[in-house]
Amino acid sequence: MPASKRDHLMTTAEQLFHEQGFHATGIDRIVSAAGVVRMTLYNHFSSKEALILAVLEARHQRFIDSLDAAVARAPAGHATRALTEAHGHWLETFSQHGCIMLKAMGEFAEHSATIHAMALQAKLDLLRRIESAVHRDGMAHASSLARQLFTILEGSNNTVAVLGVETALSDTRAMIDMVIGAAMRNPS
């Protein structure tokens, strides 16, 4: 079954926003790439900001669903590694141009409190999930360890844009191994 026009517009916009940025991607470019007329876009979204919010919310939900599924499948004691590996898979598969949420935070910090807040909440949602996985694995100092892992994962989002996916993932895995290994050796 073909995707709805709304879904097609969102997929097209997401790709363009991710590759070119939000401000650099105009409505005309989106409707042209989607093969629809402007009115079709405005029948589904009241504004470009509404489209951006819908794209970010849908992308975040897909991302979180992938992390949650990985954690749910993880054997006892391996939730944290499963989550970090799922993050790496997402980065490799869907974020070759860096993190779209970080782009949104940067581009909208002073232009749209709503978009900036949504992207910030997405990041905090990731941090909460990391902390939950660390708790599930029974590691000590869960909040501190979760922040360290979050910092590493967020760093990988930036590293991919500078050094490429392969290097970002390799270095991220090495740092995660060191941090988790240290946490397991020093449980108090």
Question: Same CATH topology for 1-45 and 56-185?
Answer: no
- Looking at every residue in the chain, the average pLDDT score rounds to 93
CATH topology assigned to domain 1-45: Arc Repressor Mutant, subunit A (1.10.10)
Rg (C-alpha) for the chain, rounded Å, is 18
Instruction: With 0.85 as the threshold, say if the pTM is over it.
Output: yes
For the chain, the structural domain boundaries read 1-45, 56-185
Q: How much is the pLDDT for 174?
A: 97
Instruction: Pull the structure tokens for residue 18.
Output: 């991710």
Confidence of residue 123 (pLDDT cuts 50, 70, 90): very high
The domain 56-185 belongs to what CATH superfamily?
Tetracycline Repressor, domain 2 (1.10.357.10)
Query: pLDDT tens digits for 107-122?
Result: 999 889 999 999 999 9
Q: Assess whether pLDDT exceeds 50 at residue 165.
A: yes
Name 36's Cβ contacts closer than 8 Å, sequence gap at least 6. Answer: 5, 8, 9
Q: Assess whether pLDDT exceeds 90 at residue 3.
A: no
Give the 3-state DSSP-derived string for 26-92, with helices as H, strands as E and coil as C.
CHHHHHHHHCCCHHHHHHHCCCHHHHHHHHHHHHHHHHHHHHHHHHHHCCCCCHHHHHHHHHHHHHH
Instruction: Pull the structure tokens for residue 135.
Output: 């708790």
Instruction: Pull the structure tokens for residue 7.
Output: 């879904």
Q: Which helix (H) or strand (E) holds 106?
A: helix 100-108
Q: Assess whether pLDDT exceeds 80 at residue 188.
A: no
Exposed (0-12), middle (13-18) or buried (19+): which is 89, by Cβ within 10 Å? Answer: middle
